[in-house]
Amino acid sequence: NQLITEVTALYQENEQQVELLLALDNDLPLLQLDQHRVRQLLVNLIKNALEAIEADTAGMNHNHGQLSISTEVASLRSSQQVLLLLKDNGPGIPEDMLPRLFEPYVTSKHKGTGLGLAIVKKIVEEHGGTLSAGNLEPKGTMITIRLPVVV
């Protein structure tokens, strides 16, 4: 939660077209994380979401974007996981890209390298976690990261 708060603070100061909403579970167990790598993960995900929202709302002053970031604890069989959810109201991900979204060099941006989400996947896997992405109705994207609680 502390890393999320720190990283989003960097964006909240400069962001006027996108509302950043945080819903962080105060009772999260401590996770053993490489703070530098997780900070990089958060920057990549937030930057991607903001760019998608801003491209989708460009020129529409009446339509503000939203990015919500939440954390929660989930129990799965005999273990616990921390869930990190990022939801935006951008245009969503083209359906044909969803299966390949976290592969290197896959991008829908004209200026993108397609490495940001591949790096995110690698960082999540380095921490023993999983991630998934899907589209929201009527529009938007949700990224779900599951990190194991190490006892």
pLDDT of residue 55: 78
User: ∠32-34-40 over CA atoms, to 5°?
Assistant: 135
In angstroms, the CA 71 to CA 1 distance is 8
* 139 Cβ contact partners less than 8 Å away, ≥ 6 residues apart: 56, 89, 90, 91, 92
Question: What pLDDT digit, counting tens, does each position of 77-95 carry?
Answer: 778 999 999 999 999 999 9
The CA distance from 57 to 82, in Å, is 32
Using DSSP, state whether 23 is helix, strand or coil.
strand
Question: Omega of the bond prior to 138 within 30 degrees of 0, cis?
Answer: yes
The total of structural domains in the chain comes to: 1
pTM value is: 0.89
State the chain's mean pLDDT as an integer: 89
68: pLDDT strictly greater than 80: yes
Report the CATH number at residue 69: 3.30.565.10
pLDDT of residue 18: 86
Q: Encode pLDDT of 96-145 as tens digits.
A: 999 999 999 887 776 777 889 999 999 999 999 999 999 999 899 999 99
pLDDT at 53: 87
**pLDDT of 58:** 64
Tens of pLDDT, residue by residue over 14-62, are: 667 788 999 999 999 988 899 999 999 999 999 999 988 887 766 555 4
Structural domain boundaries, residue 105: 2-148
Instruction: Tally Cβ neighbours within 10 Å of residue 59.
Output: 5
pLDDT of 75: 86
